Amino acid sequence: MNRRTFLKGCAAGGAVLALGGAGGMAFLDSAAFGALPEGRELERVLLSPHQQGGVFVNLEPAPVLADNSNFVVSLVRWLMLKRERPRPVHPLPHEKGDVRNLQKDALVWLGHSSFFLRLAGKNILVDPVFSDYGSPFFFSNRAFAGTTFVGADDMPPIDLLLVTHDHWDHLDYPTVMALKDKIGYVVCGLGTGAHFLRWGFARERVLEGDWGESLDFGDLAIHFVTSRHFSGRSLGNHDRALWCGFILDVPGFRILLSGDGGYGSHFRALGERFGPVDLAILDSGQYNKNWPTVHMFPHEAVQAALDVRARHFMPAHIGRFCLSQHPWDEPFILAAQCAAQKNLPLFTPLMGRVIPLARDLPLQPHWWEGRE
């Protein structure tokens, strides 16, 4: 296990030691950890220009740690780290909008990087984590109070499940299995489909793509776009599945979902190909100066929004889990400050609120203000 997987809330090293020997190995081989690509899925991975020997690589270097320390040092530092206000004192507010009968295009933020979208007559779910933990362990990465408010029973049939990458805070096994019979197609990066095949999804229901590829669903086009990140659900098996973002394109509206990832020149390239983007939903949290290339600081997310010529900017990867050391509300505060300085419209809906999509999105209150 490397430092980066640990930073996603998977304290697997200590857990395996606690479980011990064969028991630990059996746990790591359980279905929740998914599978590596093989057969025709592996063949397609090996054809990708973005892999080397079956391991995916970023277009720009993304060093493991800025100070070149190893995993053991990073783990000890993480466990001993004193955090300032990592979690809100009181439950966070939310609405529980009814998404089962939406007729018009709409967006619902479900916290962190999970979204429900109604686009072009299709129900789309992105990186759903309905569990109370963004981790395989009950003691790691617990959601903030008030943010676990939706479940599979609240969902309508899901035409498209979009998965940006296979980290536990984006691909939650209990959520996927609870939704399984409701899901039409899974859309994910190369290699990620192996998890779904192990979980019993029919191969024809899993649509994988590489950076630069697209899928056509009539009035909806989905483009797989570059991100600067990494992948992996278990010890040693990292970067075997592709991490990505998505452009969702319907007549009159275009959304960028960056997925997780650090800032890079790929945003300017996206702007040249797809800009202007009506709504840029960008990784803006869980940043740290010691891993600056795999998550964006808020000011970098604002710059990325400007690069893609976004009409509105929404910070994401925040508001539900603590994966770094910054105060829980700092990403919201800094994103709002940086966006205001650049005259960039900020879009920060309350969790669970149904927002109709239009070229001019309604201004949302700064719901995090005044909370401890």
CATH of the domain at 225: 3.60.15.10
299 assigned to some structural domain = yes
State the average pLDDT for the chain: 91
84 assigned to some structural domain = yes
How do residues 134-185 score in pLDDT, each as one tens digit? 998 877 899 999 999 999 999 999 999 999 999 999 999 999 999 999 999 9
291 assigned to some structural domain = yes
368 assigned to some structural domain = no
Give the domain range for residue 272. Answer: 3-356
pTM: 0.93
Domains: count for the chain: 1
Give the phi and the psi of residue 298 in degrees, each rounded to 5.
-55, -40
Whether the pLDDT of residue 58 is over 60: the answer is yes
372 assigned to some structural domain = no
Which tokens belong to 368? 């995090």
The arithmetic mean of pLDDT across residues 341-369, rounded, is: 97
Residue percentage of the chain with pLDDT more than 90: 81
pLDDT computed for residue 77 by the predictor: 66
Whether the pLDDT of residue 82 is over 80: the answer is no
Residues in the chain: 372
371 assigned to some structural domain = no
How do residues 211-261 score in pLDDT, each as one tens digit? 999 999 999 999 999 999 999 998 778 999 999 999 999 999 999 999 999
Q: In terms of C-beta density within 10 A (0-12 exposed, 13-18 middle, 19 or more buried), how is residue 14 classed?
A: middle
367 assigned to some structural domain = no
Whether the pLDDT of residue 8 is over 50: the answer is no
57 assigned to some structural domain = yes
Per-residue pLDDT band for 25 (boundaries 50, 70, 90) equals low
- Closest by alpha carbon to 357, among 164, 122, 156? 122
CA diameter of the chain: 57
Whether the pLDDT of residue 21 is over 80: the answer is no
Whether the pLDDT of residue 18 is over 60: the answer is no
Give per-residue burial for 248-262: e unless 16+ CB within 10 Å, then b.
bbbeebbbbbbbbbb
Please, are residues 233 and 261 in contact by the beta-carbon 8 Å criterion?
no
Please, are residues 274 and 241 in contact by the beta-carbon 8 Å criterion?
no
